[in-house]
Structure 1
Amino acid sequence: MKPSLIFLLLFLTCGYTSQSIAQNYQDTQSGIRTTIGDIDIELRFYTPSCVRILKSPQNHQYKKESLSVIDNNRAVNIEKRQKGDILILKTPSMHVTLDLISGQMFFYNAQNKLLLKEKGKPVFTDFDDAGEKTFSVSQKFALEKDESIYGLGQLQNGKMKQRNLTKYLIQGNVENVVTFFQSNKGYGVFWDNYSPTTFKDDQEETSFSSEVGDCVDYYFMYGGNSDGVIAQMRELTGRVPMFPLWTYGFWQSKERYKSQDETVGVVKKYRDLGVPLDGIIQDWQYWGHNYLWNAMDFQNPLFNDPQKMVDDIHSMNAHMIISIWSSFGPATKPYRELDKNGLLFNFTTWPQSGMDTWPPNMDYPSGVRVYDAYSPKARDIYWKYLNSGLFKYGIDGWWMDSTEPDHLDWKPEDMDTKTYLGSFRKVRNAFPLMTVGGVYDHQRATSSNKRVFILTRSGFAGQQRYGANVWSGDVSSSWESLRNQVPAGLNFSICGLPHWNSDIGGFFAGAYNKTWNDGSATRNPMFQELYVRWLQFGAFNPMMRSHGTDTPREIYHFGTKGE
C-alpha cells in the first residue's frame, strides 16, 4: 500500500474517533445540559450529595418553580469527564453517569457502588389539562430484587417496606402522600410533581407516573443511611423549626366540646385529679351553625366570652389550640371577600348540609366552599380573618382540619378547577403545603412572641418547615387500625417530616357503644384495652393527643383511679 494511502486511512480513522467522543453536552455552573434523541436533559447538583434531573421533549419551553424545594443549586466541585459514550460527573460524595446514546442514568456512591439506575426513556404523553397543552409524565427505575424501600408518606396499608406495590398517590383524609422513597442502600428519590401520581413497583421495575407535568423532575440524594437521606431531604425542602416544649405533653380533645364552660371544665378536672395535661383542643362549631362554617369567629352563644376562656386555660398553666378549616360557609366574612375575588372552588366539600344532622339533609345545602390556597391573595385574606377573629385572643396554635382538602362526590371535571397555579389537577397534592405554609408565614410576619404550632390532617414534602405536626386523620377504633399507624407514622417521618401523631383510641368508636353498663365505649373492656394500648403508643409519638367521636375521651370517664 502506498504511504499516502496509509496516511489518508490513519487520518480518517483518527478523525472518526475524535468525532465519536467529542463533547456533545453543554457545561453549566452546577452540572450539564444536553439533548439525546428527542429528549432535553439537564443535571443540576444542589450539594455534592444531591442532584436534580430534568427531562423534557426536545425544545419544549416551560417554567418550573418548585413548591417543595427551597434550596438553590450552588457551585459544587464537579469533576466531568467523558469515556467513550459515557459522561461521568463526579463529586466527593457520589458520581452520576449518563449514557450519551440512550440517555440512561446511573447513580453510584463514592466507592463506585451502583445505587440506582434508570430503566428506559422517560415517557411523555400528550395531555389536555383544562385547556392547557401539556403531558402526562413517567420515569422507570431498576432496583435490586432484595432492596428495601420506605416512604411514600402516610399510608394505611400496614406495610413498612413499600415493594411489590401499586399505589395511586393522592391526598386523602387518612392517607398523606409524599412522592418520595428512600432505600436501605442509603439513597433517596424525590419525584417533584404535585398532580395525582401512580407509584408502581414489581419484580421488573419501579416507576413514578404523574397525570400532569411539563417535565420529568426528580432529585437523587445520597446520605449513606436513613438519617443521612433525611438530612439531605430537609436541606432540600426545609429544616424543622424548634417546637415549644409544651407541644410534647399530653393533649385532650374530642369531637366536640360544645361550650367554653365544658372546655375549661375539662382542664380543671385534670388539675383537680393531679393528672398532667399540657393542652386542650377546641373542635368545630364554636362559630355557630354550618352556614357560618369556619367563620374564625365566636358566633356560638355558648362561647360568649372567648377571652375569658383562653385566660382561664392559661391561668391553669395549660395551652389551647383551636379548629380552623380550608373552607368557608356562605354567611362568613372570609367567604364573601374570597368569593368577590374569585378565590373559591366549586367542587363539593364537607359539610354538605347546612343542617347539623347525619346523614346530610340535602334539602338545605350548606354552600361551603374550599378556598384557593395556591393564591397569595387568598392566603392574605385567610390570615386577615384568622388574625382579627382568633389570634388576638392569645390562642396558642392552630388545628388546621381538612387540609387535603375534603373533596366529596368526586367528578373528573372537578380536577379542571382553575387555581392560581393552574388546574387543581396540576397542583392537587401540594394543597396542604400551601395552606399550612400560608398560616405559618403570616403568623411569623405578624409576631415573633410565640413559636408557630400547627396540628394538621394532611402533609406534603417541605411542610416540616412550617411548624406542622400531621395526624393520621379519622382512623377507625380497631386493633388493625392501631397496628397500621405504626408503619404509617414511620414511613411518613422517613420522608423528612418528623412530627406526626394519631387519634389515641381511634376516631370512630361507635361500634363499642353496646351492652356495657351505660352503653358507653368507655365502660366496654374491649375499648378500654384498645385505648390503653393506644395511649402507650401515643406516649412515644411527637404529640400525645387523645381525640375521637362517639364516646367521651377524657380518662376520668373510663373509671376511677386504679380501674
Structure 2
Amino acid sequence: MRSLFVKNLSLCLLSVLCIITSGSVNEVLASESLNNNHYLSHEIKNNTLVINTKLGRVSLSNYSGAVEVVYQIEQSKFPAQQLPSFAIKEQALKSSFSTKDSQEQLTFTTKQLTAVIQKSPFAIRYYQQNNQQPSKLLLAEESGYFSGSVKENEQNIAVQGFRFHLDDTEKLLGGGERVLGMNRRGHAMPLYNKAHYGYTTESSQMNFSLPAVMSSNKYIVLFDNSAKGYLDLANAEQNIMQFSAVSGRMAYLVFTGETYPELINNYVNVTGKQPLPARWTLGNFASRFGYRNEQQVRDTVKKFVDLDIPLDALVLDLYWFGKDIKGHMGNLAWDKDTFPTPKKMMKDIKAQGVKTVLITEPFVLTTSSKWQEASDKKVLAKDATGEPKRFDFYFGNTGLVDVFSNQGQQWFNNIYTDLYQQGVAGWWGDLGEPEVHPSDTLHTLSDNSVVNGDAIHNAYGHQWAKMVYNNQLAINPNERPFILMRSGFSGSQRYGMIPWTGDVSRSWGGLKPQVELGLQMGVLGMAYTHSDLGGFAGGESFDKQLYIRWLQYGVFQPIYRPHAQDNIAAEVVFHDTNTQDILRKFIKLRYQLLPYNYSLAYQNSRTGMPLMRPLFFEDEADISLIDNTHSYLWGDAFLVTPVVNPDVKHVEVNLPAGVWFEYFPAEHKPSPKYQGKQTITLATDINTLPVLVRAGSFIPMVDAIQSTEDYQHSKLNLHYYADSSVTSARYEMYEDDGKTAHAMDKGLFELLQFEAEQKAQKLTIKLSRKNQLNSLNGSLKKINTGFGYQGMPQERIITMVIHNWQKPPTAIHLNNTAITNSVWHEKNKTLTVKFSWQHQPATLTLL
C-alpha cells in the first residue's frame, strides 16, 4: 500500500520518516536536521582521510571503485556505533587517493570518484571521474548526518541517518526483496528483514532487505548499517533520498561505473563475489513441506528415476527431527522412529545421483531435547539478567542461537559437522530474519561487546551464512558449500548464500512479481535469488496451468526448486501424466543447458554479472526500460517472457536491438525471425514458453541426463544462431569438475572459446582452449593450468548445430580437411556437423 505523507516540507529544517509494518502506516514525526555541522581540521591516517568536525569525526576511504564514508558522532545517544562493517568483504584493501585543500572545500580524488567536501555547512558531493568528459555530479548529501525520531506503535523512536539530493529524472532500484515495481522512487520502506507469508502482487516488506540503491545515473549508494531502519526514496519529500536506523554503524559507500555491468562489478569487488556453486546446484530439487519419513524419501527418488525425470537433490524440511510441526525445533538430530537409518538412506539416494539437503533453524525450543545443553553452554542470546532470552512464537517457547558469539558458533558448528560427516550435502537455513527477534535480545560479539537485537537484526542471516560457509570449508576445503537462506545483508553473496523469495502465495498473483524480485536482488549481488516453483502458501486445489507455467519459467531462473505446503504435491512426479510429459521436456532442457548455465555462474563469480539480467542493460540511454518486469535476459543469449496469467494465447515482447529467433518453433519448421527495437506478439500455448534467442549466440549444451553425476565433458552440442546481420560473434564457455572449491584459483578449469565470422555465403567458426583468464581491465593474468581437472577430456565429440542455414553447404572443412558427416534439415533450416576435437585451435568453414 502506498503511504500518504505531507509533502514539500522545508528541505533544510525538516526530515520526514515513515514506517510501514505489515501493510500499516504509522504516524510520521518531523525532526530537525543537524545541518549545523562544520569542518575543523583533517589528517591522513592509515590510508584514510580523517576529518574532525563540530559533531565528530568523518572518515573517507577509497576501495577502488567506491568511496566509504564513516561518521563517528561524539556524545551520540545511539548505541553500537563501533560495530564492524558487515557489507565490506574481509579481504578488501584500501586504495590510494589524493587530496586538495582550499578555504571553502576539501577534495578527495580517486581513479573513478571525486568527493568534494564542503566545509561549512559540512556536506559531501560525489562526482564521477571520466577522462573523456567533464566530471559528472552523481550524488550529494543534502544535510549529511541527521538525527530525529519516528512514531511507531504510539512510541517515539529515535533514529539517525543520511539525506541525499536526487535529480528530477533519475530512477531508483534497490531495497532488496519488495513487490513495488522496478522503479522504487516514490516509495518508503522498512529496512528490517521480516517474512511476508502468502504475498502476491504487492509487498513493502519481505525477508531480505538490502540497504542499497542503484540509480539510473549509474551509481550505487550502500547504507552500511545492520540495524532496524527505514528507507525513503523521494516519498516524503520530492528529490530527497533518506536512510535512517535506530542504532548501529553510521556509514555509507558510493560506487560508480561507466556501464551498469561495470557498476555491479565495482560493487561486488568491495562487498564480495559469489563463489562458484557446485554444478549440482543448477539441477532439479525435490522439496516440500515436508517429507515425513525415510520411506517417503526413498519412494520419491525412485519415482523420479522410474519416470525419467532428472533429479539432483532432495530437501528435508523440519520433519527430519520431529514427527510434527511444533515442539521439536532445536533438536537437530534425526528422529529415529521416522528416519531409522539416515546414513544408509543418504548413501542409497546418493548412489542414484541425489544429494540430501537439511533444513536447520536458529531457534531452540524450551521443549527441545537440546534446550538444557544450549542453556548450559551459553549458546543462546541473552536477556538483561544474563539468562537465555525466552519468548513465544508460532513453533513454541524458544531461545535464539547467538551466531555472533564464540560459544554459539562453536555449538552450532559441531551440529553441522556431525551431520556433514553423516552424508548431508547441503544446508537450508530457514527463519533467519530472525522471524521473531525481540528488541531487548542481547547478542555477544567476538570482542565480547554486547548489542541488542535491533542493532544487528538485518545481519543475523548474513552472520549465520558466514558461520556455515567457513565451517564447511574447514571440514572439507575441497568441496563447495551449498547454503540456501531466506535472509541476509549486503555482501551475503560472498558466503555462497542462495536466497529465495519467501513463502509466496500459490497463485497467479504469487507468480507475477517473481521476475521483479529476481532482477532487483541480482543487480545488488544476490544473483541466485529464486522462487519456490509452483508457489508455496495456500491453494485450495491443484491449478495445473499455474503449476506448469511456473515450472516452465523456472528453467530460466537461477535455482530449479519446486517447493510447497504438501496439501498439493510440489513434485512433478505426483501429478498427472500430461503434466509430467510437458514438464519432463523442460526439466531435461534445464539439464541440457548445463554448460551454458554453468558459464553464467562462472561469469557471476568473476564480475558479479547476474544470471537474470534486466532489459535496461541492453540500452542504457533508455531508462524507461527499467520499468519492464515482463521480460528479462537469461545471460546474453535468451530473452524470456514468463506467462503469468491463465489462458494466455499471445504475449507482447519488447525486443532489444538485433535479430531474434523463437527458441521453441513449431515442430519441423524454421525458427521465426524478428528484427529488434520493436514490440512483437508471440503465440504461446501450454506446451511452450515465450523465449527468443539472439542472432549470433552460441549455446553450448549436453545430452539429457538423469543427474549431474552423469555429466560428460567429452561430448558437446554447440548451437550457433547464424544471421547475415551478425558478421562476428564470440563466446567463452567455462568448465571444471563441478565440485572443487576455488577451482579457478587453483587452475583446475578450462575455458573454451568459440568465434564466428559470417561474410556473404561463408561462415567460419573457430574453436580454441585457453589457459588464461581475462581480468576486467583487459590484462592477462596467468593461471596455473598444469594440473587440469579430474575428468577433463583430451578429446571432445562436437555436434555443431547451425540454425537459420537456408540451403545445403557446397563445402565444409575443419582446418584443411573436408567433412562429409553433415546433415541439412530442410524443414527447420538447420545444419548439423559432427566432428572430434582435440582442443587444438580449429577452424570450421562452411560455404
Instruction: Give the TM-score of the pair, scaled to structure 2.
Output: 0.57
Contact 1:158 1:483 in 2 (8 A): no
Q: What are the superposed Cα offsets for residues 454-482 of structure 1, whole Å, 9 maximum, x if unpaired?
A: 11111211211112211111111122221
Contact 1:71 1:236 in 2 (8 A): no
Give the Cα separation in 2 of the matches to 1:378 and 1:70: 22
Contact 1:456 1:469 in 2 (8 A): yes
Residue 44 of structure 1 deviates from its aligned partner by 1.4
Contact 1:471 1:503 in 2 (8 A): yes
* Structure 1 residues 232 and 334: CA distance shift in structure 2, 3 A: farther
Give the Cα separation in 1 of the matches to 2:559 and 2:92: 34
Q: What does 1:7-18 correspond to in 2, within 5 Å?
A: none
Match of 2:499 in 1: 470
Q: Does 1:460 align with 2:489?
A: yes
Contact 2:116 2:126 in 1 (8 A): yes
Secondary structure (helix, strand or coil) at the match of 1:105 reads strand
Give 1:507's aligned amino acid. Answer: F
* Structure 1 residues 236 and 333: CA distance shift in structure 2, 3 A: farther
Residue 194 of structure 1 deviates from its aligned partner by 1.0
Contact 2:194 2:435 in 1 (8 A): yes
Q: What are the superposed Cα offsets for residues 75-111 of structure 1, whole Å, 9 maximum, x if unpaired?
A: 5332211344021121221211000111111111113
Q: What are the superposed Cα offsets for residues 47-83 of structure 1, whole Å, 9 maximum, x if unpaired?
A: 2x21111123347696342123225664533221134
**Higher share in helix:** 1
Contact 1:149 1:181 in 2 (8 A): yes
Secondary structure (helix, strand or coil) at the match of 2:82 reads coil
Give the Cα separation in 1 of the matches to 2:426 and 2:168: 46
- Which of residues 156, 159, 173 in structure 2 aligns to 1:136? 159
Q: What are the superposed Cα offsets for residues 151-178 of structure 1, whole Å, 9 maximum, x if unpaired?
A: 21111x2411110011011112242101
Match of 1:517 in 2: none
Residue 487 of structure 1 deviates from its aligned partner by 0.9
Q: What are the superposed Cα offsets for residues 165-224 of structure 1, whole Å, 9 maximum, x if unpaired?
A: 1101111224210111111222111101111111002223000010113x5211111122
Give 2:222's aligned amino acid. Answer: F
Contact 1:292 1:330 in 2 (8 A): no
* Structure 1 residues 424 and 158: CA distance shift in structure 2, 3 A: same
Task: Tell which deviates more after alignment, 284-293 or 485-494.
Answer: 284-293
Give the Cα separation in 2 of the matches to 1:234 and 1:159: 24
- Which of residues 73, 84, 104 in structure 2 aligns to 1:85? 104
Match of 2:287 in 1: 253
Match of 2:776 in 1: none
Contact 2:378 2:408 in 1 (8 A): no
- Which of residues 326, 346, 349 in structure 2 aligns to 1:310? 346
Task: Tell which deviates more after alignment, 335-344 or 314-323.
Answer: 335-344
Q: Does 1:41 align with 2:58?
A: yes
- Which of residues 309, 331, 334 in structure 2 aligns to 1:295? 331
Match of 2:154 in 1: none
Mark the runs of 5 or more structure 1 residues left unpaired by the alignment. Answer: 1-21, 128-133, 353-365, 514-520, 522-526
- Which of residues 570, 591, 600 in structure 2 aligns to 1:553? 570
Give the Cα separation in 1 of the matches to 2:322 and 2:391: 21
Contact 1:343 1:378 in 2 (8 A): yes
* Structure 1 residues 24 and 509: CA distance shift in structure 2, 3 A: closer
* Structure 1 residues 207 and 126: CA distance shift in structure 2, 3 A: closer
- Which of residues 171, 184, 207 in structure 2 aligns to 1:162? 184
* Structure 1 residues 402 and 164: CA distance shift in structure 2, 3 A: same
Task: Tell which deviates more after alignment, 231-240 or 254-263.
Answer: 231-240
Residue 318 of structure 1 deviates from its aligned partner by 1.6
Q: What are the superposed Cα offsets for residues 233-283 of structure 1, whole Å, 9 maximum, x if unpaired?
A: 222222211110011011111111111111121111111111111211111
Secondary structure (helix, strand or coil) at the match of 1:544 reads coil
Give the Cα separation in 1 of the matches to 2:479 and 2:72: 45
* Structure 1 residues 62 and 216: CA distance shift in structure 2, 3 A: closer
Match of 2:231 in 1: 199
Q: What are the superposed Cα offsets for residues 493-548 of structure 1, whole Å, 9 maximum, x if unpaired?
A: 2221211111111111333x2xxxxxxx2xxxxx1111111112211121110010
Secondary structure (helix, strand or coil) at the match of 1:336 reads helix
- Which of residues 109, 112, 118 in structure 1 aligns to 2:141? 118
**Higher share in strand:** 2
Give 2:42's aligned amino acid. Answer: Y
Match of 1:326 in 2: 362
Q: Does 1:497 align with 2:516?
A: no
Match of 2:440 in 1: 416
Match of 2:544 in 1: 528
Give the Cα separation in 2 of the matches to 1:376 and 1:461: 23
Secondary structure (helix, strand or coil) at the match of 2:570 reads coil
Secondary structure (helix, strand or coil) at the match of 1:167 reads strand
Give the Cα separation in 1 of the matches to 2:466 and 2:369: 22
Give 2:84's aligned amino acid. Answer: E
Secondary structure (helix, strand or coil) at the match of 2:84 reads coil
* Structure 1 residues 71 and 303: CA distance shift in structure 2, 3 A: closer
Give the Cα separation in 1 of the matches to 2:116 and 2:331: 55
* Structure 1 residues 87 and 322: CA distance shift in structure 2, 3 A: same
Contact 1:254 1:552 in 2 (8 A): yes
Contact 1:238 1:462 in 2 (8 A): yes
Match of 1:244 in 2: 278
Q: Does 1:382 align with 2:412?
A: yes
Give the Cα separation in 1 of the matches to 2:327 and 2:511: 35
Aligned positions, number = 501
Task: Tell which deviates more after alignment, 23-32 or 219-228.
Answer: 23-32
Give 1:70's aligned amino acid. Answer: K
Give 1:185's aligned amino acid. Answer: N
Contact 2:40 2:53 in 1 (8 A): no
Match of 1:283 in 2: 317
Match of 1:19 in 2: none
Q: What are the superposed Cα offsets for residues 19-59 of structure 1, whole Å, 9 maximum, x if unpaired?
A: xxx99422234342223333432211122x21111123347
Q: Does 1:367 align with 2:384?
A: no
Give the Cα separation in 1 of the matches to 2:227 and 2:377: 25
Q: What are the superposed Cα offsets for residues 393-421 of structure 1, whole Å, 9 maximum, x if unpaired?
A: 211101111111221xx8xxx20211114
Match of 1:401 in 2: 430
Give 1:533's aligned amino acid. Answer: R
Give 1:51's aligned amino acid. Answer: V
Give the Cα separation in 2 of the matches to 1:117 and 1:548: 46
Give 2:333's aligned amino acid. Answer: D
Instruction: Give the TM-score of the pair, scaled to structure 1.
Output: 0.84
Give the Cα separation in 1 of the matches to 2:267 and 2:407: 29
Match of 1:18 in 2: none
Q: Which has the higher contact order (CA 8 A, sep 6+)?
A: 1
Q: Does 1:483 align with 2:512?
A: yes
Contact 1:250 1:544 in 2 (8 A): yes
- Which of residues 96, 120, 133 in structure 2 aligns to 1:101? 120
Contact 1:349 1:406 in 2 (8 A): no
Match of 1:216 in 2: 250
* Structure 1 residues 166 and 95: CA distance shift in structure 2, 3 A: same
Give the Cα separation in 1 of the matches to 2:330 and 2:100: 59
* Structure 1 residues 199 and 126: CA distance shift in structure 2, 3 A: closer
Identity of aligned residues (%): 25
Secondary structure (helix, strand or coil) at the match of 1:121 reads strand
Contact 2:506 2:537 in 1 (8 A): yes
